[in-house]
A and B are shown apart, each in its own frame.
Chain A
Amino acid sequence: MKGAGQVGKVQTVLGPIEPDDLGITMTHEHILGSFDSVFPIPVEASYRGRLETPFRVDLMGWINHGRWPNSDNAKLDDIPTLIEEVGLYKQFGGSGLVDATNIGIGRDPIGLTRISRATGVHIIMGSSFYVASRHPSDMDDRTEESLTEQMVGDVQRGVGVTRVRSGVLGEVGCSFPLHTNEKKVLRATAQAQRKTGAPILVHPGRDQSCPAEIMEILQDSGADLARVIVGHLDRTLFNKKLIKELAETRCFLEYDIFGQEVSYYPPAPHVDIMNDAQRLSIIEWLINEGHGGQIVVGHDIAQKAHLVKYGGHGYGYFLEYMVPRMRIKGFREEDIHRILVENPNRALTFAEPG
């Protein structure tokens, strides 16, 4: 089963393809996913009532400004709607999307193949496990080896009887501080990379110390850090010295919350999440520091409110709004191309196992 014909290819839900065929790719989205119950249930009656209210236009302001959670908003589960949204992405030039949804948040292999066939957009499906609060109930008893075996199965044989194969190990869920089981999952994911050659995509905990700790565990467990994408940097790392240190591990640096312009961040109210101008400014700095070959981008679409249909920005936002803005700001076309095409294609190409 070594390699399973994947070395040098990108594994999409419809099969392996040549990296050159992948085209413009966002490396961190959720096409289908269910994030309800990630958030705590509010205590107050009126807030709890709104939790259960179907998505409505008059809830959007509250949702966008992070005041309270809404279960319906947290579900991307209607395939015709997602076909339309992914179709919009294609209209703006999009060609590939990473569905970072993995075990615990509603991963949907068959659903992804339907959306990919309907739109012609390449979809790369995730594997491994989300944060500890979404782990399966038997996670305490699972061995590292059995977790590795499950992930290798997802990548090489496909998920269960669907035979739809994962093309990335992630997003690997990490909380702050790192939960014991999350460390176990990280070690198992590193081992699965050694066996499959698949890239790893990390969701770090919300603290500036977290990415370095994760990278250390991955390295000690045999992962190739140059084949790791570290996600959510726009809400995690603000200190340039720490960003530089992370960049020097040669990992991929992912700014993946484009389109969310509200600075208030309910999961960690002490963090002022970056806006688009700040994201572009830090990317410009990284290019000038010589790390332009490591940058990948996305929107982490994870709510109805992020979809165009529901008043949001959608998967095509970076292409529709950010690319012209990068030109206005003086980014070179070669750098835009690296960020949109070359870097994600390289990041998602399978390496020789072991």
Chain B
Amino acid sequence: MNGVSLVGKVQTVLGPIEPEALGVTMTHEHLLSSFEGVLDAPEEASRKAQHDAQLSMDLLGQFYHGQAENTHNYKLDDIPTIIEEVGLYKQFGGSALVDATSIGIARDPVGLTRISRATGVHVIMGASFYVAAAHPNDMNDRSEESLAEEIAGDVVKGVGSTGVRSGVMGEVGCSWPLPPNERKVLRATARAQRITGAPILIHQVEIRPVQRRLWKCFWMRAPTCRG
């Protein structure tokens, strides 16, 4: 599975670059994504309406203070808007961004290449799977091997027919308590790191037992844990 050697490089959506060329970098952002699948819809009718409403200024306070989540608010899907926002990042000296959007929250390889070309900002795309609530329907039946192969394929060959390659495996979604399928994904991701040498990025719940179990999943499988 060895294509272009990535050792010693950073893999961006436009190809591998020298680490020195990366510059100021934020390692966890979402440029294009949709979290609607993982939001819990509220029971109360008036809150449900707000949950589904188009974003407007008078709703922002509620979303900011966490009383309500809104599906529209959790979608970053308009490429011209994101080009403008990433452009602002560049104006303040930013040079690169990790798009931590993994499988399950609407990863968008071609969209990322458009934004990167339009802004000149290096974008590193994610791989692997988000939390269980966002897993594909067939996750119960997937073997660790097939997941590892898919993840490694994203890094080495590119996602599907797009030719756009992932530069980080993550964010790997971990809930609490860790469901069996998330453990399977963690093990598969560790295997994919052995195959590709790519870094791993973890999304975790801030509870100590989770962290312990995470590391336990990794110990036997990954040469280095860059979680």
Contacts and interface: CB of A to CB of B under 8 A. Distances in A.
A and B bound? yes
A321 interface: yes
A259 interface: yes
A312 B65 CA distance: 9
A310 B57 CA distance: 6
A57 B73 CA distance: 14
Contacts of B67: 320-321
A271 interface: no
B61 interface: yes
A255 interface: no
B58 interface: yes
Interface in B160-205: none
Interface string A310-328: 1111100100110000000
B57 A313 contact: no
A313 B65 contact: yes
A7 interface: no
Band of interface residues on A: 10 to 19
Interface string B62-78: 00110100000000000
**Would you call the interface of chain B mostly helix, strand, loop, or mixed?**
helix
A60 interface: yes
Interface in A284-328: 308-314, 317, 320-321
Max chain B C-beta neighbours (<10 A), residue from A308, A310, A311: A311
B58 A308 contact: yes
B225 to A, nearest CB: 32
A261 B64 CA distance: 10
B60 A313 contact: no
Contact of A317 (B58, B60, B65): B65
Interface of B: 57-61, 64-65, 67
Given A57-B60, A311-B59, A312-B60, 5 more contacts: A60-B60, A310-B57, A311-B60, A314-B61, A321-B67
10 contacts: A57-B57, A261-B65, A309-B58, A310-B57, A311-B60, A311-B64, A312-B60, A314-B61, A317-B61, A320-B67
